[in-house]
Structure 1
Amino acid sequence: MKIVKFNPLDTEEIVSLFYETVHSVNSKDYSQSELDAWAPRNEKESKVKSWKESLNENITYVVKLNNKIVGFSDLTHSGHLDRLYVHKEYQGKGIATALVDILESQAKKLNLLEIDTEASITAKPFFEQRGYKIICTQIVERKGVNLTNYKMIKKVTFLD
C-alpha cells in the first residue's frame, strides 16, 4: 500500500472509485433513488472537471495498491474533511484510517483547532471511533431527494 499526494492525472480513476463505492458500499444504508441522487452517473464527466480543481486545491491523498487507486481523501485548508472513499473490495483494511491519520497530521501542521466532516450513515461509526462527535443530523437535498448525513467535529490535539 502506497500513500501519495493527489495527481490531477488520477482524477478520472478517483471519480470512478467514488461512483462504485457509493453505489455498492453505501447501498446498505441508502435506497437506490438516494444513491442515484448522491452519485448520478450522467454527471461523471462534469464531476471529473470540477473534482480535478477541488482535489488539487485541497490537501488530497490517494492510496495505491499495485498501481490501482483503492482510496482517497481530501481536507480543505480550513479543516473540512470533504471526501473519504475506499474501494468496495478494500473496505476494512486500514485504508480509511491511514488516509485520515495523514489528514489529521496535516491539520496539526496548519494549526487548525478542529476538523469537521459530513459523514454518511455508512461512515458515521468510523468517524465516531476516531473521536469525531456528532453536532447534528442533517437532511441534504440532492436532485429533489433527501439524504441523511451527520455534521461531525473532532478537536485537533497537539499532544501526540
Structure 2
Amino acid sequence: MRMRAFQSSDINQMVSLFYETIHAVNARDYTEEQLNAWAPQDEMDAKLIKWKDSFVRNITYIAETNDEIVGFGDMTRNGYLDRLFVHKNFQGQGIATALMNKLESEARKIGLTKIETEASITAKPFFERRGYQVIEPQTIERKGITLINFKMSKRLISE
C-alpha cells in the first residue's frame, strides 16, 4: 500500500468507494432506508463537484494498492476529520489506521491539539481504540430519515 496526497483525477474513484462502502460495510448497523438517505445514488454527480473542492481545501490522503484507491481520509485545517473510508474489499487490513496516523501526524505538524469527527455506529469502535472520546451521540436527519452517529474528539500529544 502506498500513501499519497489527493489529486483531482482521484475524485471519481473516491466517490464510488464512498457509496459502495456505505452500502456494504455500514449495512450491519443501519437499515437500507438509512443507507439510501446517507448515500443516495442520485447525489453522486453533485458529490463529484462538491467533494473535489473540499478535498483540495482540506488535508487529504489517498491509500492506494496497485493503482487502485483502497481508502481515503480528509481533515480541515482546524482539525475536523471530515471523511475516512476504506474500500469494502479492503477492510481490516490497517488502511484506516495508516490514514489516521498520517492525518494525526499532519495535524500535529500544523500545531493542532485536537481532532474532532462525527463517527458512524460502525466506525465508533475504531475511533475509540485510537483514543477518541464520545462527546455526545447525535441523531441527524437526511432526506427525512434519522440516523445515529457520535460526535467524538481526541487530544493530540506532541510527537
Decide: shared fold, TM above 0.5: yes
* CA distance in structure 2 between the aligned counterparts of 1:38 and 1:78, rounded to whole angstroms: 25
The CA distance in 1 between the partners of 2:88 and 2:40, in whole Å, is 18
Cα distance per residue 1:1-51 (max 9 Å; x no partner): 010100011101100000000000000000000000000000100100000
Structure 1, residues 98-153: CA drift from partner, whole Å, max 9, x if none? 00000000110111110000000000000000000000000111111101000000
> Which residue does 2:110 correspond to in 1?
110
Q: How does 1:41-56 map to 2 (within 5 A)?
A: 41-56=41-56
State the partner residue of 1:62: 62
**Amino acid aligned to 2:130:** R
Residue 81 of structure 1 is matched in structure 2 by 81
2:135 and 2:53 mapped to 1: Cα distance?
A: 29
Q: Distance in 2 between matches of 1:91 and 1:125?
A: 14
Percent identical: 53
Which 5+ residue runs of structure 1 have no aligned equivalent? Answer: none
Q: Give the Å deviation of 1:60.
A: 0.2
What are the equivalent positions in structure 2 for 1:1-160 lying under 5 Å apart?
1-158=1-158, 160=159
Compute the TM-score of the two structures, normalised by the length of structure 1: 0.98
| TM-score (norm. length: structure 2) | 0.99
Measured in 2, the distance between the counterparts of 1:39 and 1:55 equals 18
SS at match of 2:30: coil
CA–CA distance in structure 2, aligned partners of residues 111 and 4 of structure 1: 21
Distance across 1 between alignment mates of 2:121 and 2:71: 19
